[in-house]
Amino acid sequence: MSFTEIAKLVGERWQILPVEAREVYQHQANVGKEKYYAELTEYKKSAEYNVYQEYLKKFKAKHIARP
């Protein structure tokens, strides 16, 4: 199956799933999203984040300078 076919199948199955079952998955997704953003906020305060930002600046400057 292609990705498009799989996505269509999953979408169809999601639509026929009872609301109660969907709410369970939506709750799990929301909990995961909150955890991700909390961890991302902490990461942005770290030295590793600053090092990566410097790397990105140099990388972008190098590739923008190319004709």
pLDDT tens across the length of the chain (67 residues): 999 999 999 999 999 999 999 999 999 999 999 999 999 999 999 999 999 999 999 999 988 876 6
pLDDT at 67: 65
* Domain encompassing residue 44: 17-65
Q: Into how many domains does the chain fold?
A: 1
With respect to residue 7, please indicate whether it lies within any of the assigned structural domains. Answer: no
User: Does a structural domain hold residue 22?
Assistant: yes
User: What is the model's pTM?
Assistant: 0.69
**Buried/exposed code over 26-53 (b: 16+ C-beta within 10 A; e: otherwise):** eeeeeeeeeeeeeeeeeeeeeeeeeeee
